Amino acid sequence: MDLDTLKFDSAGLIPGIVQDRTGEVRMVAWLNRESLQLTLDTGFVTFWSRSRQSLWVKGETSGNRLRLVQIRPDCDADALLIVADPEGPSCHRGTESCFDSSPEGGPNTAPWPATLPWLGRLEALLTSRQALADLDGSYTQKLFAQGVDRIAKKVVEEAGEVVIAAKNDNREEFLGEAADLLFHLDMLLLERGASLLDVVEVLHHRHAERTGGPA
């Protein structure tokens, strides 16, 4: 990244919007040239604290660091989108995001980008259960311990339940069975070394190929 192409404000600062790979906005803070260069050099997001007038490595005391994935300037080069892998909560309140989880208008009116990131947290939980696979453990741990054949069988069973619920025209039952299917499909993906993000990437590429536009 060429820092000379960026438009820092009169105080030498530029806002950075931190987003994780699931698309959830974690926080917004300020960077100067030095903190931005340190972010690029160290791989951990570093800000400039306006209140303390000093560099601030996110998570340096709490351990909740932000591991850099990529930085993208906006079209005017006066703001940065920072994609990072969070190593814990990003807000001082101990929440994943500094932004309220229930947007104005109620939780059911949230747009797709605001609601889907929860799937990333579910997948992280499943990954932790996979690492502790045990036939004497929780349901998820037991299923992971039985391997790909058993998990695949559950996906087939849940897919059949979804079809039956759809034909019965019972919305609550249908959504419940669909949730079960997605849960077990995610387990199968993880068991094969993949994730929901990999599936989304395939859909993006297919869309781009068929429309001739960006993914």
Residues 118 and 198 grouped into a single domain: yes
Residues 136 and 197 grouped into a single domain: yes
Could you list the residue range(s) of the whole structural domain that residue 163 is in?
Answer: 111-211
Whole-angstrom distance, CA of residue 215 vs CA of residue 198: 14
Whole-angstrom distance, CA of residue 82 vs CA of residue 142: 38
How many CB atoms sit inside 10 A of residue 83's CB?
Answer: 18
Residues 81 and 123 grouped into a single domain: no
Residues 78 and 133 grouped into a single domain: no
Per-residue pLDDT of the chain (215 residues; tens, 9 = 90+): 889 999 999 999 999 999 988 778 899 999 999 999 999 999 999 999 999 999 999 998 899 999 999 999 999 999 999 999 999 989 988 888 898 655 555 544 444 555 566 787 788 889 999 999 999 999 999 999 999 999 999 999 999 999 999 999 889 999 999 999 999 999 999 999 998 888 888 887 888 788 775 54
Residues 129 and 42 grouped into a single domain: no
Determine the pLDDT at residue 116: 66
Q: What is the pTM of this model?
A: 0.57
Number of domains in the chain: 2
Whole-angstrom distance, CA of residue 198 vs CA of residue 4: 34
Residues 119 and 194 grouped into a single domain: yes
Give the number of C-alpha atoms closer than 13 A to the C-alpha of residue 194, restricted to the C-beta side: 13
Count Cβ atoms within 10 A of the Cβ of residue 211 and give its class: 0-12 exposed, 13-18 middle, 19 or more buried.
Answer: exposed
Give the number of C-alpha atoms closer than 13 A to the C-alpha of residue 197, restricted to the C-beta side: 12
Whole-angstrom distance, CA of residue 56 vs CA of residue 99: 20
Residues 127 and 180 grouped into a single domain: yes
Give the number of C-alpha atoms closer than 13 A to the C-alpha of residue 61, restricted to the C-beta side: 2
How many CB atoms sit inside 10 A of residue 170's CB?
Answer: 13
